[in-house]
Structure formats: structure tokens, C-alpha cells
């Protein structure tokens, strides 16, 4: 019996030990379970945070890729707000720009995400959002945030709505607020190059704004600002490339681009366009009497008139100096004359303080009416404008169809005659090649006939390897501008242009080794050089009947104002002005080109030499105008 109770006691003790062990194991198990549950929760939170961070990085990468694409900024901004709204789970996003015009400040929605909230807003605000101008009040919430450049987080939707569209009906406001899922909104100011651009507004489902979310939105806003800054910089560079700095009008380069497109369109649609040429009267008198600052003001006044009188599709251009053009797409000569007269009168009715009334001379020519050749049309516009100036200024002249051979055609015929009849010692194969080029340019009625400049350059290179391609046309442009300043007749202008192409052709008759000498020339060498104008005039050009008026110009183009020139040592007014123009233009280009015996001079060095010979080699008035012309047009005309 005693043993029995002893066994029972031992068994009870064993059971207690087992129970104690089970309780301890259960406690350990619960602790492990709870620890694992906490770890799983922490892992889940960290995974969520990593997913959010990764999503944000992908969104930023997407925006960066868009910024580096060729897409327009409007497309970039729309994609930006869409990415922000969809990829980061916002209710809606919108970019609002602050604008200003003559009527004051206003705001404009330039990008909005495509979501249910924005669609509802568009429906409710249909009458408001369909207009380009939205209200702007610097005392409203979003514009205060922009002024302070502070990110603002608010739960007051009423203030947000009132910032964009004040004075909404209370019924509309309540309708929006009662149905909106929005719990808060974030305002991110946007600035570009120290300028307040506008704001990015983000509508959120959440009331709170976490620190991580705020940091990301700051980074996101900076990316938008960077995109806007890049676009603004590109636009500035683009504007500078096609606009004139003094007037803000388009420049010669842009005009040429527009003209090419307009010619293509006009031919395809069989529709005319008109060019108005405008030249400010008496600019030299204004500069001399009142100073160049008021001369510039007169030029700016004409540009202002052109802007005010231009349609949105017209192209007003400053061609250089006091000359302007206006391209009028789809306008015939009747409409062109009316537009030109309106511009003329507006200029006359826009006096300048101190200077008083200013006027301009205008010429009008229409594509498909006066000519279907654009080079000839520009020439006719120029001639009509010049005719207005010669007839007393402050008037409009319609160009006349040029039934006679143009100066270019006369020059081409002269070159063909010289080359085909072997009037100069040029290799036969080369001569035939040049003749073919010239004939092809005359056969094509749409050709600008600029092949004559190329041929003149190619011939010049045969006796002067240092000759710069393109300088023949540059010389002609400068010489023509000089001639217009001195109001030469159209006939004199045409003869000057032909002479500029042919005046040095006598050099082809001289020994090449003479023209390429690196050491000083002997008296005999100099005598040979002095013969080339006579050779050109009498031996090469005299047999060509169509250019007889050009021969005296070329023969006298090396005569000096003081009588020390050659071949006849005539002086002063005995020398044709056109011959003096050729001499000074040729001298400048020769000095700024490299030679076998010296390096090229700078523009400044060449002009100093020309200035030193004023009254000796050249007419003083000619020197003054030439120096002024080179300084004023060096950026718009290729010189040398």
C-alpha cells in the first residue's frame, strides 16, 4: 500500500514536470510567433515603401525621357501630369500658368490629367474652362504660394476652388465638395530663370502628406521647372536666330526660308503672293542731324507700324539698314497696293519726337503676276521701291513686268560668248563645262540664275587660287547697296552689276606666274598689271554688242580720285561713280583675302587703309558710306 501511494506521488510529480515543460514551450512558441508576425509586418511595410520609391523613380525617369525627346512642351507637360496622377495614385493633377498681356494678369490651365475628377470639373466648369483667360488674384491661396515660393498643403478645398475660379455659385461649390473624394490638395510653385511661371496642383485621396511624399513632389516640381527652362532657352536661341535685334522683326534669313515655302505653296495652289519693299527716306539726314540713336528710333518706328498692320500670316522683315520687306501670302497686286498704301500712310502719321515726320518709299510686286521667277520678283520689288524714291519719295509704286533681258541674262550671254568663242585662254574642256552650266541656268525658268556667280568665282580661281567662293556675289551686294545710296538710275545699277562680274576678266590674259609672284613686282610687271582693264574692255568685251555700256565702267575702274590711277590718269568727277564703287569694293575684298605674297587682313585693318586713302584714291563721300555700310551689314551679308 505504501508503495502504491509512492508510485502515485511519483507519477503526479512527473505529470507536473510535463505540464511545466509544456507551458514553457507554449510561452516560447507564442513569443516566436509574435516576433515572426512583427517581422512579416515590417517586411510588408518596407516592401511597400520600396515599391513606392521604385514607382517614383520610374515616374521621374519617364519625365526625364520626355524632356529629352523632340516632343513639344505642351505634350511633355500633359504626359507629366498624367504620369503623376496615375502612377502615384493621386485623384487629379493640373498645371496652371500665370500670364500677362495688355489687359493685365490672368491664369491659364495648360495641362490637366485625364481622370474622372478632371472630367467632372470640366463638365461643371464648362463655361469657365473653355476660355483661355482664368482669373488671377494675388491674394488667393495658390498665388500666395507662388509669390512666396512655398509648397502648400491644405484640406480646405473651398479655398483651392476659389483661387482658380472665384465667384462660383454656392450651389456649384457645394455640389463639388459633397461629391469630391478629395481630402487635401498640394500646391507646388513653378519658377523658370527667376520668373514665376505658375503652379502644379495635386488633388489627393489622403488627408496627410508624408515627409517622403513631400520630398518626391519637390523633386518632381524641379524636373518640371527644368523642362520649362530648357524650352525657354531653346526658344530664346531660336528667336535670336530668326529675328533682328534692333526691331524684333524677322531677319533676312527667315525671310528667305518663308519665301521658299511660299513659292512652293503658290505654285501648287496657283495662288499669288505679294512682296512689299519698304525703304526709310532720308535716314542719312536723320543720323547726321539728330544722331544715330534717333536714326535707330526711326527704324524701330517703321517696325512698329509693320507689326501693327500685319495679319497673323504675314511676314514683316528687316532686310538690313533702312530696308524692310513684307511677305503677304495669298494677296494679289490690288490687295498688295492697298496694304502698301496703308503702311505708307501709317508711317507718315507716326512722327518721332525731335525728328518729326518720317516717310518711306515702297515698291510692290506679285508672284504669278509680275513674274513667276522669285529672283526676278525680288529684283522687280527693289526696282519699284527705288522708283518711288526717285520720283520724290513717300509713295507706292507697282512693279512693271520686265520684258527686256534682265542684267543676269545679259551677263550670262556675255560669259557664254567669251567662253564659247575662246576670247580668253581657258582650257577647252573647262570652258565647255562652264558654258553648259550657264545654258542650263537660262533653260530653267524657275532657276534663280545664280549660276553666273559660280562661273565668275570659278574663272577667278584660275588666276587667283586664293579667291574665296561666294565673294563675287558678296561684292555685288555691297556695290549695289552703295549705288542705291547715291541714287543711281536703274540702268546704271544694272550696268554696275554686270561690270562687277566682268571687271577682272582681263587677268585671264596675263601670265599666271605674274599674278602669283611672292616677291615685289618690277616696273615691267606693274605695267602688265595696269594693262588688264584695257585688255578686258577692248580685246575681250568690245565685240559683245549687248554690254557696250559696261565697257567704259570697266576701263576706268582703276582710276584714282586724285588722278594717280590708270590707265588714263583721269580724276575727280571725270571718273564714273560706278567705276569708283567697283574700285573700293574690289580693294576691300582683295585686302581681306589671302594672297601669295601676304596673309589676309582683318576687316578693321582694311577699313583703316581705305580711310587713309580718302580723297586720294576714292571720293570722300564714297569712303564714308562704304565704311558705314560694312559696319552695319557685316552680320547679315557674307563678306569675303
Tens of pLDDT, residues 170-219 = 777 777 666 667 888 888 898 887 788 888 888 888 888 888 778 878 87
Nearest to 225 by CA among 204, 195, 202: 195
**Domain spanning 73-241, CATH class:** alpha beta
- Cell numbers at 141, concatenated: 491661396
Backbone angles phi, psi at 362, to 5 degrees: -125, 145
Give dist(CA 463, CA 128) in Å, integer.
74
Which residue bears the cell 489622403?
A: 206
* pLDDT of the residue at 428: 87
Cell numbers 497686286: residue: 333
Alpha carbon distance 388, 398 (integer Å): 9
> What is the reported pLDDT for 323?
93
Q: In what side-by-side order are the strands of the sheet with 360-366?
A: 315-320, 323-329, 273-280, 360-366, 396-398
In terms of Cβ atoms closer than 10 Å to its own Cβ (0-12, 13-18, 19+), residue 35 is: exposed
Strand locations in 6-117 (E): 92-101, 104-112
Q: How many residues does the chain have?
A: 640
CA 523, CA 506: separation in Å to the nearest integer?
19
The CATH code of domain 447-633 reads: 1.10.3210.10
CA atoms within 13 A on the CB side of 297: 16
User: According to the model, what pLDDT value does residue 336 have?
Assistant: 95
Cell numbers for 593:
583675302
pLDDT given for residue 532 in this prediction: 62
Helices (H), 68-91: 73-87
Contacts with 357 (C-beta within 8 Å, 6 or more apart), sequence order: 348, 351
Q: Give the Cβ contact number of residue 19 at 10 Å.
A: 10
Would you state the pLDDT for residue 169? 73
pLDDT digit string (tens) for 33-84? 666 667 666 666 665 555 555 555 555 555 555 555 445 566 777 777 787 7
Name every residue whose Cβ is closer than 8 Å to that of residue 261 and which is 6 or more positions away in sequence: none
Calpha distance 149→98 (Å, rounded)? 14
DSSP letters, 446-471, are TS--THHHHHHHHHHHHH-TTPPTTH
User: Are residues 310 and 303 in contact, defined by beta-carbon separation less than 8 angstroms?
Assistant: no
Which letter does DSSP use for residue 595 in this model?
A: B
Single out the residue of 618, 377, 296 nearest to residue 482, CA to CA: 618
Angstrom distance (rounded) from CA 543 to CA 559: 23
Q: What was the pLDDT predicted at 71? A: 53
pLDDT of residue 235: 60
Report the distance separating Cα 351 and Cα 584, nearest Å. 37
Distance CA 290, CA 292 (A): 7
Strand partners, 363: 277, 397
Please identify every stretch of the chain with a pLDDT value under 70, giving residue numbers as ranges: 1-37, 39-74, 87, 102, 117-132, 167-168, 176-180, 231-240, 401-405, 442-449, 510, 513-518, 521, 525-526, 528-529, 532-533, 535-537, 633-640
Look at residue 272 in the predicted model and tell me its pLDDT.
94
- DSSP H or E segment with residue 377: helix 374-390
Residue 30 is placed in which grid cell?
507564442
Class of domain 252-398: alpha beta
Tell me the CB-side half-sphere exposure of residue 385, using CA atoms within 13 A: 29
The C-alpha atoms of residue 321 and residue 632 are separated, in whole angstroms, by 7
Contact 640, 606 (CB under 8 A): no
For the chain, the structural domain boundaries read 1-68, 73-241, 252-398, 447-633
pLDDT for the residue numbered 640 = 38
b/e string for 535-551 if b means 16 or more Cβ within 10 A? bbbeebbeebeebeebb
Give the Å distances, CA to CA, from 486 to 133, 170, 471, 477: 53, 74, 23, 15
Pairing of strands 396-398, 360-366: parallel
Return the SS3 of 312: coil
Amino acid at each position: 500500500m505504501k508503495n502504491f501511494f509512492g508510485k502515485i506521488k511519483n507519477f503526479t510529480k512527473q505529470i507536473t514536470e510535463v505540464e511545466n515543460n509544456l507551458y514553457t514551450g507554449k510561452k516560447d512558441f507564442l513569443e516566436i510567433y509574435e516576433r515572426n508576425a512583427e517581422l512579416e509586418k515590417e517586411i510588408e511595410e518596407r516592401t511597400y515603401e520600396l515599391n513606392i520609391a521604385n514607382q517614383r523613380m520610374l515616374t521621374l525617369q519617364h519625365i526625364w525621357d520626355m524632356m529629352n525627346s523632340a516632343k513639344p512642351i505642351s505634350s511633355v507637360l500633359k504626359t507629366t501630369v498624367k504620369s503623376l496622377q496615375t502612377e502615384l495614385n493621386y485623384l487629379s493633377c493640373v498645371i496652371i500658368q500665370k500670364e500677362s498681356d495688355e489687359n493685365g494678369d490672368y491664369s491659364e490651365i495648360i495641362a490637366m490629367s485625364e481622370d474622372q475628377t478632371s472630367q467632372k470639373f470640366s463638365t461643371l466648369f464648362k463655361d469657365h474652362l473653355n476660355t483661355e483667360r482664368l482669373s488671377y488674384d494675388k491674394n488667393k491661396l495658390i498665388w500666395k504660394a507662388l509669390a512666396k515660393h512655398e509648397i502648400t498643403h491644405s484640406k480646405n478645398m473651398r479655398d483651392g476652388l476659389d483661387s482658380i475660379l472665384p465667384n462660383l455659385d454656392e450651389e456649384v461649390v457645394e455640389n463639388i465638395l459633397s461629391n469630391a473624394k478629395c481630402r487635401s490638395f498640394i500646391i507646388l510653385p513653378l519658377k523658370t530663370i527667376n520668373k514665376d511661371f505658375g503652379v502644379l496642383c495635386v488633388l489627393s485621396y489622403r488627408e496627410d502628406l508624408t515627409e517622403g511624399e513631400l520630398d518626391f513632389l519637390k523633386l518632381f516640381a524641379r524636373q518640371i521647372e527644368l523642362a520649362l527652362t530648357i524650352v525657354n532657352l531653346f526658344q530664346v536661341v531660336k528667336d535670336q536666330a530668326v529675328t533682328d535685334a534692333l526691331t524684333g522683326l524677322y531677319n533676312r534669313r527667315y525671310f528667305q526660308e518663308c519665301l521658299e515655302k511660299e513659292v512652293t505653296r503658290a505654285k501648287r495652289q496657283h495662288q499669288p503672293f505679294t512682296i512689299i519693299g519698304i525703304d526709310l527716306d532720308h535716314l542719312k539726314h536723320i543720323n547726321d542731324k539728330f544722331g544715330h540713336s534717333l536714326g535707330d528710333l526711326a527704324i524701330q518706328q517703321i517696325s512698329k507700324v509693320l507689326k501693327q498692320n500685319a495679319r497673323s500670316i504675314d511676314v514683316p522683315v528687316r532686310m538690313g539698314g533702312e530696308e524692310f520687306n513684307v511677305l503677304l501670302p495669298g494677296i494679289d497686286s490690288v490687295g498688295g497696293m492697298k496694304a502698301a498704301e496703308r503702311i505708307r500712310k501709317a508711317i507718315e502719321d507716326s512722327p518721332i519726337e525731335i525728328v518729326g515726320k518720317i516717310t518711306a518709299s515702297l515698291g510692290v510686286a506679285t508672284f504669278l503676276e509680275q513674274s513667276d521667277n522669285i529672283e526676278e520678283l525680288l529684283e522687280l520689288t527693289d526696282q519699284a521701291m527705288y522708283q518711288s524714291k526717285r520720283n520724290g519719295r513717300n509713295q507706292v509704286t507697282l512693279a512693271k513686268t520686265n520684258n527686256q533681258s534682265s542684267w543676269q541674262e545679259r551677263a550670262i550671254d556675255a560669259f557664254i560668248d567669251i567662253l564659247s568663242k575662246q576670247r580668253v585662254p581657258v582650257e577647252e574642256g573647262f570652258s565647255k563645262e562652264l558654258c553648259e552650266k550657264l545654258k542650263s541656268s537660262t533653260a530653267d525658268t524657275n532657276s534663280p540664275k545664280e549660276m553666273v556667280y559660280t562661273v565668275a568665282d570659278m574663272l577667278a580661281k584660275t588666276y587667283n587660287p586664293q579667291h574665296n567662293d561666294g565673294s563675287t556675289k558678296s561684292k555685288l551686294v555691297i556695290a549695289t547697296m552703295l549705288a542705291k545710296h547715291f541714287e543711281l538710275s536703274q540702268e546704271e545699277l544694272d550696268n554696275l552689276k554686270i561690270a562687277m562680274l566682268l571687271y577682272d576678266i582681263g587677268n585671264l590674259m596675263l601670265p599666271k606666274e605674274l599674278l602669283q609672284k611672292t616677291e615685289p613686282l618690277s616696273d615691267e610687271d606693274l605695267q602688265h598689271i595696269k594693262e588688264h582693264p584695257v585688255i578686258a574692255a577692248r580685246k575681250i568685251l568690245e565685240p559683245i554688242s549687248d554690254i557696250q555700256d559696261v565697257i567704259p565702267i570697266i576701263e576706268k575702274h582703276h582710276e584714282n580720285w586724285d588722278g594717280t590711277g590708270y590707265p588714263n590718269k583721269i580724276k575727280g568727277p571725270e571718273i564714273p561713280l560706278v567705276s569708283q564703287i567697283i574700285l573700293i569694293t574690289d580693294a576691300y575684298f582683295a585686302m581681306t583675302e589671302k594672297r601669295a605674297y601676304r596673309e589676309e587682313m582683318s576687316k578693321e585693318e582694311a577699313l583703316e587703309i581705305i580711310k587713309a586713302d580718302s580723297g586720294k584714291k576714292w571720293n570722300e563721300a564714297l569712303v564714308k558710306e562704304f565704311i558705314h555700310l560694312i559696319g552695319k551689314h557685316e552680320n547679315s551679308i557674307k563678306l569675303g
